Amino acid sequence: MSEPQILTEARRAAFLDRDGVLNIDNGFAHQPGHVQWVKGAMQAVALLNKRGYFVFVVTNQSGIARGLYTEQHVRELHAWMADEFKAQGARIDEFVYCPHHPEAEIAQYRIACACRKPGPGMLQDLMKKWPVQREHSFMIGDRETDVTAATAAGIAGYLFPGGNLHAFLTQRVLG
């Protein structure tokens, strides 16, 4: 949620899907009471921070396009999530979301856009905004669309099968 500081040195970045990676995907979470953290999520983000990675959350939020909740709900939830991570000694550098869906109920969101995963738009926009070292960056998602977005953005993509995110990160991604 924070604005980027004036940074000139490129750093590695970890792009994380939200629902199914950081929190249990219970369908259209848009309030703090809907969030159940994935085991090891806080520790995984703290480890990435300690190792010098930017940490970004990139999430499709078609519930906006479906009229289930608003962009303001998502922004408020992301601010709350950032505070929860901060309270555990972890930092999310920025949250981004795509509110679009090609079959949206709400006309203004009925768009087939490059930001909606599997499109790479959200990742590419973050790489333009922040000094990201692409060749050592990666994405973790719980769907093939996340891995496809990572590949299209020119970074490694990992499919998280659930369980403990910290264990997955240390055993499968960081080695």
CATH of the domain at 57: 3.40.50.1000
Identify how many contiguous H helices and E strands the chain contains and give both numbers. Answer: 6, 5
pLDDT at 3 over 60: no
Beta carbons within 8 Å of 80's beta carbon, 6+ residues apart: 32
What is the model's pLDDT at position 151?
A: 98
Which of 5-19, 21-35, 161-175 has the least mean pLDDT?
Answer: 5-19
- For 18, half-sphere exposure in the C-beta direction (CA atoms, 13 angstrom radius) is 25
- The tally of domains found in the chain comes to 1
Tokens of 1: 């949620």
Q: Is residue 128 a part of any domain in this protein?
A: yes
Give the pLDDT of residue 175.
Answer: 78
List active site positions.
Answer: 17, 19
In this model, does residue 126 exceed pLDDT 70? yes
Q: Considering the domain boundaries, does residue 5 fall inside one? A: no
Containing structural domain, residue 25: 13-173
Q: How far apart are CA 61 and CA 107, in angstroms?
A: 15
Please tell me the total number of residues recorded for the chain in this structure: 175
Is the pLDDT higher at 1 or at 113? 113
Structure confidence by residue, pLDDT tens digits, 16-44: 999 999 999 988 888 888 899 999 999 99
Instruction: Provide the terminal-to-terminal Cα distance of the chain, rounded to the nearest Å.
Output: 29
Binned at pLDDT 50, 70 and 90, residue 6 comes out as: low
Please report whether residue 149 resides in a domain: yes
Whether 37 maps to a domain, the answer reads: yes
Mean pLDDT of all residues belonging to the chain: 94
Q: Is 127 exposed, middle or buried (0-12, 13-18, 19+ CB in 10 A)?
A: buried
Say whether pLDDT at 2 is over 70: no
- By CB atoms closer than 10 A (0-12, 13-18, 19+), residue 95 is buried
**Confidence at residue 30, expressed as pLDDT on a 0 to 100 scale:** 86
Q: pLDDT tens for residues 31-83?
A: 888 899 999 999 999 999 999 999 999 999 999 999 999 999 999 999 999 99
- Structural domain contains residue 112: yes
Distance CA 93, CA 82 (A): 9
* pLDDT tier for residue 98 given thresholds of 50, 70 and 90: very high
How high is the pLDDT of residue 26? Answer: 87
The model's pTM: 0.93
The answer as to whether 121 is a domain residue is yes
On whether residue 7 sits in a domain, the answer given is: no
Tokens for 9? 């040195």
User: What pLDDT score does 77 carry?
Assistant: 97
Residue 131's contacts (CB-CB under 8 Å, 6 or more residues apart) are 7, 8, 9, 10, 11
